[in-house]
């Protein structure tokens, strides 16, 4: 795995434990772009990182920890919003899932693997009032 982004034994054990709670199968789609252009990332301590290769390593490692996960990898040859990971029915993460965002990725898989929503009854009631389609984007920076 790329230096600095190795899933340690303790990390793997924690992820395995979280994934053990999956109540149904979850498909994960990983879309990658050309790996020729490393970018400098604050999330990587200001180092140059091949985000596509690193994301592949991370997502493959996570998906390899539980049989309830199926990973499909698609390689794109042109520019685009890569790396992009799609969990289940449309939970999208654009970028390299490291630091806190690795936790979020695992939590998103756990949520997608639930048979019932973990939102409160009040929240579910409120979003049922939504009368049109809505897109939520959340910008994050892994720490």
Partner 1 sequence: MLLAYKLALASPRITARGIEASEFATEAERHGVHSVPAIVVDDRHAWAGSVPEPLFVERVLAASG
Nearer to partner 1, 9 or 47 (CB): 47
* Interacting residues of 27 by C-beta distance below 8 A, sequence separation 6+: 69, 70, 72, 87, 88
Window of 21-29, 57-65, 67-75, 83-91 that interacts with partner 1 by CB under 8 A: 83-91
- If one asks whether residue 128 binds partner 1 (CB under 8 A), the answer comes out as yes
Measure the CA–CA gap between 110 and 25, rounded to whole angstroms.
Answer: 10
Which of 15, 90, 102, 115 lies at the binding interface for partner 1 (CB under 8 A)?
90
Is the dihedral angle over the CA atoms 96, 98, 44, 49 positive or is it negative? negative
Q: Which two tokens stand for residue 60?
A: 């493959």
Give residues 4-33 in contact with partner 1 (rule: CB under 8 A): none
- If one asks whether residue 45 binds partner 1 (CB under 8 A), the answer comes out as no
What is the closest distance, in whole angstroms, from the C-beta atom of residue 10 to partner 1 in the complex? Answer: 22
Decide: 87 and 4 in contact? Cβ < 8 Å.
Answer: no
Nearer to partner 1, 3 or 121 (CB): 121
CA distances from 80 to 28, 75, 90 (A): 19, 11, 18
- If one asks whether residue 135 binds partner 1 (CB under 8 A), the answer comes out as yes
What is the closest distance, in whole angstroms, from the C-beta atom of residue 9 to partner 1 in the complex? Answer: 25
Residues touching partner 1, count (CB under 8 A): 46
Q: CA angle, corner 30, sides to 27 and 31, nearest 5? A: 140
Binding site for partner 1 (CB under 8 A): 39, 41-43, 51, 81, 87-96, 101, 104, 107-108, 111-112, 114, 117-120, 122-124, 126-130, 132-142
């Amino acid at each position: 795995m790329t230096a600095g982004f190795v899933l340690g034994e303790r990390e793997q054990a924690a992820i395995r434990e979280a994934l053990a709670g999956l109540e149904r199968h979850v498909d994960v789609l990983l879309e990658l772009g050309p790996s020729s252009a490393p970018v400098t990332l604050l999330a990587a301590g200001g180092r140059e990182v091949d985000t596509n290769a690193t994301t592949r390593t991370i997502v493959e490692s996570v998906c390899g920890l539980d049989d309830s996960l199926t990973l499909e990898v698609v390689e794109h040859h042109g520019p685009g919003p890569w790396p992009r990971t799609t969990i289940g029915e449309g939970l999208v993460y654009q970028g390299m899932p490291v630091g806190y965002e690795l936790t979020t990725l695992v939590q998103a898989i756990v949520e997608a693997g639930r048979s019932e929503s973990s939102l409160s009854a009040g929240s579910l009631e409120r979003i049922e009032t939504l009368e049109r389609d809505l897109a939520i984007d959340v910008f994050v920076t892994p720490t």
